[in-house]
Amino acid sequence: MKLGFVFQSYPHTSSAGREGLDALLAASAFCEDIAVFFSGKGVTQLVDRQQPSSVLSRDYISAFKLLELYDIEQVYVCQESLDKYGLLPEQLIIDATAISSGTLATLLNSCRKVLTF
């Protein structure tokens, strides 16, 4: 069963990103076929050199680097979202494959279950 995780919220404005990351890492112990998608505001979850302490938030962003250690290799970021926020792939904390929103939708449709954060 392919499991999809979609991150579509800003970091540090709610607990959604941190909870999504925790759920993703936990799910990797039970499922090997996981795809992760960053879309819309969610692409800002991956911006390197964030300073969450300035908004009295916990720094969980660096934990996205654990995806590779957990053998989570299918990591995608929406190119249109990167463009909207003026971000380049080099500004992200991890390597992610930039894909069009159409390709993202197709890949999401191939997931049996999708969790959104």
**Dihedrals phi, psi of 114, to nearest 5 degrees:** -130, 130
**Distance of alpha carbon 60 from alpha carbon 78, whole angstroms:** 21
Please state the CATH superfamily assignment of the domain spanning residues 3-116 in this structure. DsrEFH-like (3.40.1260.10)
Residue count (the chain): 117
Provide the whole-model pTM. 0.90
Q: Which residue has the higher pLDDT, 56 or 111?
A: 111
Annotated domain spans of the chain:
3-116
Closest CA to 37 of 113, 88, 97, 110: 97
- Stretch 62-76: mean pLDDT, rounded? 93
List pLDDT tens digits, range 70-88. Answer: 999 999 999 999 999 999 9
pLDDT the model gives residue 56 = 60
**Dihedrals phi, psi of 7, to nearest 5 degrees:** -105, 120
